[in-house]
Amino acid sequence: MGQTAGTATGAFPWSWAIVQLVRRDLKVRYKNSALGFFWSFLNPLMQIVILTIVFKYIMGSRIQNFSMELFTCFLPWIFFAQSLADGAACVAKDFLLVKKYAFPRIIIPVSSLASNLVHLGLGFVVLFAIFLTLPVSINVHFLWLFPLLLLQCCLTLGLNLMLSTLHMFYEDIKFIIGSVTQLGFFLCPIVYTVEQVMQSDRLSPLWKEIYLLGNPLTPLFIGYRTALLHGGVWPIDNYYFYLGVSALWAVLILAVGLLVWSRHHSRFPELV
Amino acid sequence: MASALIEATELSKRFMMRHEQLPSLKRAFTRLFRRHPAEYLWALDGVDFSVASGEAVGIVGGNGSGKSTLLRLIGGIFIPTAGYLTVRGRTGGLFELAAGFTPDLNGRDNINLSGALMGYSRSEVARRMDSIIEFSELGDFIDVPVKTYSSGMALRLGFATAVAFEPEVLLVDEVMAVGDAHFQQKAYAHLRRLQQQGSAVLLVSHEMPAVRRMCDRVIWLEKGKLLADGPTDEVIATYLSAMEVENGG
C-alpha cells in the first residue's frame, strides 16, 4: 500500500525532489527582500556585534579576539537553532504538498535541513573572506568542519524527525522550541570558552564531566573553534573521547528520530 | 477481470475527529486524568469495486460521502485502515485546485517541483516541459508567480502537469468546473484519449452532464458506503431520485 505515483529510480531516486524543495525554500525566503541572500549573514553579523559589545565591553570578558571566537561558533549555532525552528514546523508548513503527492515524507525534513546547510555554507564563505584580511591562515585543520558538520546534521535531523512528528499532534512545540534553544545557546561554549568552564572553581568535577558528556553539542563547538582558530590544539584532555560520545549521541538521536518518524509518517496526510 | 488496474476489497478508512480544537499539551494533560472516548469517523466503510484498464468511472455522492478519501487512497496519499487496495501502475491526481502549487514560484518552477514530488526524474520532467506549457496555454504567464493566476489558470497548469506523464490511473477530484468551456472540452477530450490508450480515469464530480459525457460507469457513495455501481444513466437516475426524496420533492 501507499505506492508512490512516479517512477523515480537510481541510487538516490528522490534527490532531485530534495533539490527542488531546497530551491523553493531559498527562492521563497528571499523573494521579496532587496538584500536577498545577504540577510543570511547580515543577521548573524549584527548579533555578533551586539554580543561582542555586551560580553567584551560591558561584562569585560577576558577572551582574546572575542568576536572571531564568537563568529566561528555562532554560524554553526545559527544553523542548529534555525534548523530546529524550521524543522519542527516543516511538515505542517508543507501540508498542501503532503495532501497532494505521495512522495516519501522524509524528504521534507531532509530538504529543510539542507536549505539551512546552504545558508551555513554562505556564512562560512563570509567568515573565510574575513580570515583573508586577518593574520589567520586557512589551513588543513579546517577539514575538521566536515566530520563535525556531519555529526551536527545527524543530530539535528534526528531531533527534527521527533519534533516535526510531535508537532503534528501538539502545535505547542513551536512555542517551546524558542526558549529551549535560547537555553541551549548558553549551555554550549559559544559566548564563553570551554577553558573557562574547566577552570571554574564553582563547578565540581562531576558537573564538568556532565557538561562535556551530556550535551552532544559541546564537543562540536569546541571542535569548530579549535579547528578554525587554534590549529587543532584541543583545549581539553581526551577531546577525541568526548567527541566520540557526542557521535554516539548523534547516532542514537537519529535512530530514535527515524523510529518515531517511521511509526507515524503514514498518518501525516490526514493530520495536517 | 483480465487487467484490473484498481482492486478494492472491503476498503475502509477511519479518521479521528478533532472537533475544531487543535490538540494541545493542555488537552493531553487533562486527558491523563479524564478519559475521553476517541471519536472516529468511517470515511469509507467496506467498499468493494475494481476498475479495469480503459475504463472511465464517475464517482458521485453528497458532500462528505467519502469520494475524495477514496481518490486519495488510490493515489497513495492515505493508507487504508482496513481492507485491501491494489493499484497497478502510476497514478496522476488532480486534488483540490491550486493546492500543491507554491504561490511564490512561477509556473515553470512549479512544474519542476510537482514532477519531482510525483517521483519523476529531472530528464523525464524536462522532456515534457514544453508540451505541458503548450497544453496549459498559459503563454507568458508561465514565468509569472502562480499566486497571480486565476483559478482557471491554476487548473490549466495542474491538469497539464498531471496528464503529461500519461499515468495508468488518473484521479480527477472536482476541479474541472473552474475551467472555461474551451479548456474543459480540451481536457475531457484528452482524458478520453488517455482512456483509449488504456488508462483508467476516475472522475469525482457534482456536474452530472460531465459525468454522463465522460463516464461509462458510475459509483455512488454515501456516508462511506457504496450504494450503487453500474451503468452511468442507471446510477445517476437512482442517485438523483434519492436526492429528490430526501429534499421532500
User: Rounded to an integer, what distance in angstroms lies between the CA atom of residue A44 and that of residue A72?
Assistant: 11
Q: What is the pLDDT confidence band of residue A11, given thresholds at 50, 70 and 90?
A: low
pLDDT tens track for A192-216: 999 999 998 899 999 999 999 999 9
Q: Which of A1, A16, A171 sits opposite B85 (nearest CB)?
A: A1
With CB atoms and an 8 Å threshold, state whether A170 touches B112.
no
What average pLDDT does chain B have?
A: 89
Quick check: B143 contacting A, CB < 8 Å? Answer: no
Weakest mean pLDDT among A29-33, B35-39, B149-153 = B35-39
* pTM to 2 decimal places: 0.89
Residue B57 pairs in a beta bridge with: B202, B217
With CB atoms and an 8 Å threshold, state whether A102 touches B77.
yes
pLDDT tens track for B95-139: 876 556 888 999 999 999 999 999 999 999 999 999 999 999 999
With CB atoms and an 8 Å threshold, state whether B25 touches A10.
no
Min distance B22 CA to chain A CA atoms (Å): 8
Domain at B4-246: CATH code: 3.40.50.300
With CB atoms and an 8 Å threshold, state whether B112 touches A20.
yes
Q: Which of A7, A23, A171 sits opposite B119 (nearest CB)?
A: A7
How confident is the model at residue A34, as a pLDDT? 66
Q: Which value, to the nearest 10 degrees, does the dihedral of the CA atoms of residues B78, B79, B82, B84 take? A: 100
Cell of B71: 481518490
Predicted complex ipTM:
0.86
DSSP string, chain A: ----SS---SSSTTHHHHHHHHHHHHHHHTTT-TTGGGHHHHHHHHHHHHHHIIIIIIS----TTHHHHHHHHHHHHHHHHHHHHHHHHHHHHTHHHHTT----TTHHHHHHHHHHHHHHHHHHHHHHHHHHHTT----GGGGGHHHHHHHHHHHHHHHHHHHHHHHHH-TTHHHHHHHHHHHHHHHSSSSS-HHHHHH-SSS-HHHHHHHHHH-THHHHHHHHHHHHHSTT--SSTTHHHHHHHHHHHHHHHHHHHHHHHHHHGGGHHHH-
